[in-house]
Structure 1
């Protein structure tokens, strides 16, 4: 390496890390002058020419090796070793998981698989792992890619629900914990890139089928059509090559029917009684049977007519329908009308038991249905122009459509408070967080009528007998991407290549919700109802109740539908967000050495420019009312533009063949939640403040979203020291095509590793969801005020309660991971292995006007994962544990909105045993038995930092499945 090269490298290292001063650069120059002969810097010598030729050939080989595809692997150990190789060979800090064999990732779902990776955790919803937390940060701060293209979401936000992706589609999944400039669609905490099989990177045709039978430990809790406690999964994958290995096809199918049984409680809250003690104020209780049916289809076409051009087209379609039968009873207790309380046991200011009198219960027979479709198109065209230049053109389209139908049906002893029998209910707060109730009334068939037991609709004008209600939200989310990049390879110098590119993205997301009262014909207050007896709440002390089909009541005319524009929430809920993003990047890739220390990685910058616009609605005051059926909505809109500069650097120092130090520094961002960007406003006026000129106490005020929200920014620093144990590839088929592309083959084997890492994120512009900002209400003056009132108006300015970018803070953590094949300790333990990881996270978040720091939402202070496995002669067994401490998370609130609550942590276990026939007529066949949530972990949320103040309590039971897998030889 000549003097100029060493100077450039020293400057690059200094720019990346900010750790090298001028003196260091000078020292590096001096060293170069002392150790580099002058004739070695002259290209005219034959030795230099030969060196250049050798270097060019070496880098050409490395370019071939950088193609991403897995070696042919079989079994859990092979998956671990290939995942380790993916991690080891990456040019940034990543975690990875690889398929055990074609069409089979380890774990019961892709979300479950991701939750076992170091630094990651999952949140369970409806009995299934769904969203991912990276380094303690919630799903708002990470993004998901499929083959490098960003994905949309079926939720009303950006968070990707990973249970919408069949795990059988993916060859490997790489989680980027530190970004690179060429990573378009990167997240603040991390980026999950799911990669499907590339058919031309396989030597020969491959195919496999997997079939599973699934059941719950809890038998069906709630009766009704479309649900049960049994299910199945059937998937298959087929890969083939044609036309002398120049054209390849991958076809995948996945059919699933997954059951869940949910015991659910949702206490209303904890008011203070006459003695100053906290006591449960009411509770909504269900037994829920849930069934999610999914059909997924994958097709990949790959064309490589020569060594210079490859075109790959990926098409996926995923449709799932989820149905829930929810049967239960809602008990208004302390917050009920004219209810009396007799305290029992009181502990530290909290009423543990007692008796409520004069309780008017609401018997619930609810039905929920979700219908969603996810489409993806990804077309990648890679062209090698010559030995030095290559280019890539990619077009992608991702779309998600979701329609929810949430039906509530009420029955009781009579209409409104004061009519019909009331109940005397003893209650007990159990140590496990469950509320146990002992009512005296019979809530079975023949005792009840269809009605509005609590008079929930009586406040509307005109009066509504609300015997039921329908929420029907819809989301439509699409993202179109066009990206062009170029790469220049170098045959000498510290940089192996330079990349540059641009990407144009357009994203539209629309959220609408229809709300309908279900009333009784001709204004009746009650109607007779017949049904059957069921006991969905026997687990919490309640006997049988009336169960019926609410859909049949709509079909036969028992229910009349009464649409309302705005009922259950004050702010008009409909919104549309449009984002137009233009991203450019420049990245230098490093591949050199510093003396005896190898150095690789990259430095670069990404520039992201966004123009965002939001459309929503507000209530027209002149319509004669501001809620219910009287509300008239008028459109409002808003938006902003911003540009963010995102530098990044990743340096990997290889001290030996087995020891790497990885250092990363970057600026990253997380775009605002889309529901928080809503332009919708709930406007109100206070006549007593009419002449005031202070905007903080003016006539106008409102609540809503903020169309001018900017991204949350962070300066991210990561460091990881990794020692890799020796391994070999003797058990793998590193054949021609695959040996060029395989991470495992080119790394020389992977026998496990130990890693110590730390990370620090300095947060700024963090979004405060409960802030307030100044707003000009001039557009509302004419419709809200008479001419005389307009003369008295002191100011059109007022305060809007909504999200702003006024938070700042940090997240920091340390992590230890051990991936140890036990044969490294002694040959007697050959086949045994352990994977252990622990993560300690600390955070602080401060909002403007409040100096008291809080924990960052979604963050668990402690997370840990452990797996013990054994594999020998086709037999495999493993047990895994995932633990996370309490954290702020998201659950579904009223009208399908998302609300934050503290989620109680704990451990979940799963296990798997299998046997693969390696020889004879059954060769290729694998028998599998596995179970998940074997600890029967409870899902609990609570408030005010007090685990006794439970807000949601759920138990899902254990899930078992047995299956067969056959890989065609």
Structure 2
């Protein structure tokens, strides 16, 4: 049987602990390293800190059976990153989408976050979003030991994803050489001064870590606690849209419909605790329990002026209009007699994550081993998003109007405005709905204004309050048998079961000032003195100062009456649902260990069978006399897949490897698309399909998207600290999900108009269906280059760089081209670093081209928009006193970090015209000053 023969470089890394030795092959190599040091002189490579983490990440990639990318603990802890997403986004082929200024949603090789699986210590994770994609800003980087991204799967992986699987790992305490007690602290400052008088522009982070071993190194404990209060600020231009119109000469153009610019001050508060207990009471038995708890609160204060323009009440002066000749877009104009809405908004997003896992490995014989794994995770998320309106008078035609002008400057920054009123005057601007929004028959009836001049003029604010509860339980039992032949080293087989249930409840509330009374007191409410906070500066859009008050406190103290929007609005019934998945899997995987033409060939071959039962409980609803009428509705569906995989690694010599992978993979449908809640109308005449019901909403019978992936990679490890690789990848895509029609079983659902269950029980549904096909192809170039390969004088200087090119050809069932969410045709990143004698300096850049991404729209619905490409620079300098020779300060290091050093905005467009800006979000830069002290 062919045995792994380590090179001298490998022996050196093994002897200094730079190479993981968990696998049997590497354990044997470690023994050979001890013997080899007595026979040959081996150059011992002693690196620490960031350079050590680079070596560890390279070795994880080098000795993995699959195509992977990796980050070690030092890599995460010392890059200028507030969450794991920032670090992951620098890996080859990966990038991240920012959400409120923080990297959150990760894309792998052109696929959005919903097409990848995420695991924690190998177990699938729940999500605080409406769907499957994990928002990584929930996870603190400070308490993780590493991340591995699997770009090619193997049969034993417990998560699915066409794009790949991202596995976050905690530390194994028995694998540590000594006790660790460590304190980390950081002070954080934004480059913007306070944009809101009650906002934050500075914050802090702190982490305590403890790792130790007991009972003759048979019991290990690791504990970490991290707390964070992180500020983030934003100057945001946001448009309502750009309606088209026809000029007198017959040509078409477009104009600003309206805008909602504002300033945002956010504070992300996150408390996290991690506990790992590892026990090895005998040589044959190892057990590990891990627990993670995260308490997450993101508080946002938003103030701005909502400005109707073409969709407003004012008249646009033709002579004031400036028109772009090439596009017909009106780049500047003036509207006379316009009323605006002054907004004082508050948003709170709270989430709690609990993750528990237990793993047992038992060697029942010399060549047999068993593994049992059980886990439970749950996340709850509540959103409280409050809008408070104020203006010069209640309704469309009361109060003082303004003459407003706007000018687009030709870039992507949106427009600046001119105005004549003083929006910081508390006597002029008072609380109440200055425009007739939010029509509700229930609201009109509550206040007795039906048929009066105040009908449909009672919305003085609005509250969105959706909640999510996501729960996941998994069980796994597997066995491994070592083999003694010239082809396979071992075979692993097993079964697993996971049950996931995700519930979303949607509700909204109309706000009306409690002092409103018709006909006695139908006016506005002057802001009480105790809630006045001064002003917020909107100079960045030309609107000057505006009144600032504590709207959330006023709601809490009873200054507003609330009325549920769900009484008359059917949308909340569509958005409320429960989805359940039961997935049973069986797999077998053989590890390859042979040779071809005298060259070592390793890898694995396997197959995974997946059986899925999915079900959903929701509502079928309609409106009768303006009131929502609902009937409970449930549906279920089952399907199965066979997923074969092959990973081969051919070692050309000690430094060069060629990898080949082929596998069938799947990505499950979004949860909000496969729920049972529908809007249902019973028609007296059948449609073209012979159905009487017309249904729109979720589709429980959605099945996963499928792909056949092929990967080919060349890797050259020319140095213990350096390598380069060239990778080609291709995926054939099938059963994608698009809009279309399908048949719905409406058995037992009553006609809301009559309350009678009709004899015809089928309906024509409109929503998401499986169909369409296409492909995605690309390449990756990766390089880690230590400059000491050129001369010893440059020891400590290095470069980490990667470039990825991706293109796709995907069509919907009607043959129309479709662009994958998250796909940027070009992704580039690099880090230039220096680390020696205690001094550390790094500069990092990540760049991506334009892409389609998901953002939150009205009512926190997921909306897909066109997002412009971006280039983001981060930097860090630091000093380790122990490494610098100050033995009395051994264990102490300090650092200064800068995030988004180049002040790169987040920009999305409405259409192809670069002047039609949907969102321009300027976050500024963030600076962190911190220390780390290890006892």
Q: Secondary structure at the match of 1:553?
A: helix
Instruction: Tell me what 1:826 maps to.
Output: 791
Instruction: Tell me what 1:927 maps to.
Output: 894
* Cα distance in 2 between the residues matched to 1:432 and 1:282: 16
- Superposed CA deviations along residues 759-795 of structure 1, whole A, max 9, x for unmatched, are 1111111111x333233556556433699x98xx9x7
* Cα distance in 2 between the residues matched to 1:539 and 1:391: 64
1:705 to 694, 698, 706: 698
1:603 to 595, 602, 605: 605
Q: CA deviation at 1:758?
A: 1.0
Contact 1:98 1:171 in 2 (8 A): yes
Instruction: Tell me what 2:183 maps to.
Output: 209
Moved more, 265-274 or 854-863: 265-274
* Cα distance in 2 between the residues matched to 1:254 and 1:508: 29
Contact 1:568 1:895 in 2 (8 A): no
Is 2:257 the partner of 1:267? no
Contact 2:694 2:765 in 1 (8 A): yes
Q: Secondary structure at the match of 1:221?
A: coil
Contact 1:99 1:105 in 2 (8 A): no
Instruction: Tell me what 2:40 maps to.
Output: none
* Cα distance in 1 between the residues matched to 2:569 and 2:547: 26
* Cα distance in 2 between the residues matched to 1:912 and 1:382: 41
Instruction: Tell me what 1:771 maps to.
Output: 740
Contact 2:622 2:681 in 1 (8 A): no
Instruction: Tell me what 2:69 maps to.
Output: 95
Pair 1:420–1:702, CA change in 2 (3 A): farther
- Superposed CA deviations along residues 53-109 of structure 1, whole A, max 9, x for unmatched, are xxxx99955467799xxx997321111111001100101100001122896567443
Q: Secondary structure at the match of 1:79?
A: helix
Pair 1:500–1:367, CA change in 2 (3 A): same
Q: Secondary structure at the match of 1:652?
A: strand
Q: Secondary structure at the match of 1:415?
A: coil
* Cα distance in 2 between the residues matched to 1:893 and 1:406: 12
Is 2:854 the partner of 1:865? no
Q: CA deviation at 1:935?
A: 1.2
Instruction: Tell me what 1:336 maps to.
Output: 312
Q: CA deviation at 1:393?
A: 0.3
Contact 1:102 1:207 in 2 (8 A): no
Is 2:428 the partner of 1:447? yes
Is 2:618 the partner of 1:640? no
Instruction: Tell me what 2:689 maps to.
Output: 695
Instruction: Tell me what 1:799 maps to.
Output: 764
- Please list, as runs of the form range in 1=range in 2, the aligned pairs for 1:277-676 lying within 5 A after superposition: 277-342=253-318, 343-348=321-326, 349-430=328-409, 431-444=411-424, 445-463=426-444, 465-521=458-514, 522-523=517-518, 525-530=522-527, 531-565=532-566, 570=571, 572-621=574-623, 623-625=624-626, 630-676=627-673
Moved more, 288-297 or 163-172: 163-172
* Cα distance in 2 between the residues matched to 1:472 and 1:59: 49
Q: CA deviation at 1:514?
A: 2.2
The two structures have a TM-score, normalised by structure 1, of: 0.87
Contact 1:533 1:547 in 2 (8 A): yes
Is 2:198 the partner of 1:231? no
Q: Secondary structure at the match of 1:802?
A: strand
* Cα distance in 2 between the residues matched to 1:959 and 1:113: 16
Pair 1:786–1:906, CA change in 2 (3 A): closer
Q: CA deviation at 1:442?
A: 1.8
Instruction: Tell me what 2:35 maps to.
Output: none
* Cα distance in 2 between the residues matched to 1:107 and 1:258: 12
Instruction: Tell me what 2:927 maps to.
Output: 960
Pair 1:959–1:458, CA change in 2 (3 A): same
Is 2:676 the partner of 1:679? yes
Moved more, 704-713 or 521-530: 521-530
Q: CA deviation at 1:822?
A: 1.0
* Cα distance in 2 between the residues matched to 1:360 and 1:82: 61
* Cα distance in 1 between the residues matched to 2:191 and 2:740: 45
> Unaligned regions of 5+ residues in structure 2, if any?
4-20, 32-44, 445-455
Instruction: Tell me what 1:847 maps to.
Output: 812
* Cα distance in 1 between the residues matched to 2:162 and 2:790: 39
Instruction: Tell me what 1:21 maps to.
Output: none
* Cα distance in 2 between the residues matched to 1:813 and 1:566: 50
* Cα distance in 2 between the residues matched to 1:664 and 1:909: 34
Contact 1:103 1:208 in 2 (8 A): no
Instruction: Tell me what 1:877 maps to.
Output: 841
Q: Secondary structure at the match of 1:695?
A: coil
- Please list, as runs of the form range in 1=range in 2, the aligned pairs for 1:51-66 lying within 5 A after superposition: 60=24, 62=26
Contact 1:105 1:167 in 2 (8 A): no
* Cα distance in 1 between the residues matched to 2:246 and 2:238: 24
* Cα distance in 1 between the residues matched to 2:565 and 2:80: 48
Instruction: Tell me what 2:55 maps to.
Output: 81
Instruction: Tell me what 2:13 maps to.
Output: none
Contact 1:515 1:566 in 2 (8 A): no
Contact 1:105 1:168 in 2 (8 A): no
Q: Secondary structure at the match of 1:838?
A: strand
- Superposed CA deviations along residues 790-813 of structure 1, whole A, max 9, x for unmatched, are 8xx9x7755322111123211111
- Superposed CA deviations along residues 573-596 of structure 1, whole A, max 9, x for unmatched, are 101011111011000101121132
* Cα distance in 2 between the residues matched to 1:669 and 1:567: 40
Q: Secondary structure at the match of 1:116?
A: coil
Instruction: Tell me what 1:890 maps to.
Output: 854
> Unaligned regions of 5+ residues in structure 1, if any?
6-56, 728-750
2:212 to 240, 264, 283: 240
Q: CA deviation at 1:694?
A: 1.7
Pair 1:586–1:611, CA change in 2 (3 A): same
Q: Secondary structure at the match of 1:947?
A: coil
Q: CA deviation at 1:631?
A: 1.6
Moved more, 540-549 or 347-356: 347-356
Q: Secondary structure at the match of 1:545?
A: strand
Contact 1:73 1:101 in 2 (8 A): no
Contact 1:112 1:129 in 2 (8 A): yes
Q: CA deviation at 1:173?
A: 0.9
Pair 1:532–1:481, CA change in 2 (3 A): closer
- Superposed CA deviations along residues 29-74 of structure 1, whole A, max 9, x for unmatched, are xxxxxxxxxxxxxxxxxxxxxxxxxxxx99955467799xxx9973
* Cα distance in 2 between the residues matched to 1:654 and 1:676: 45
1:154 to 124, 128, 132: 128
- Please list, as runs of the form range in 1=range in 2, the aligned pairs for 1:96-245 lying within 5 A after superposition: 96-100=70-74, 107-224=81-198, 227-245=199-217
Instruction: Tell me what 1:759 maps to.
Output: 729
* Cα distance in 2 between the residues matched to 1:651 and 1:928: 42
Q: CA deviation at 1:319?
A: 0.3
Q: CA deviation at 1:198?
A: 0.5
Pair 1:504–1:816, CA change in 2 (3 A): same
- Superposed CA deviations along residues 848-900 of structure 1, whole A, max 9, x for unmatched, are 12x23122111001100011111111111110110000001010011111111
* Cα distance in 1 between the residues matched to 2:792 and 2:22: 37
* Cα distance in 2 between the residues matched to 1:943 and 1:350: 13
**What is the count of residue pairs matched by the alignment?**
872
Q: Secondary structure at the match of 1:379?
A: strand
Pair 1:384–1:362, CA change in 2 (3 A): same
Contact 2:570 2:628 in 1 (8 A): no
Moved more, 633-642 or 453-462: 453-462
* Cα distance in 2 between the residues matched to 1:403 and 1:693: 41
Q: Secondary structure at the match of 2:52?
A: helix
Q: Secondary structure at the match of 2:888?
A: coil
Contact 2:715 2:726 in 1 (8 A): yes
1:835 to 800, 806, 813: 800
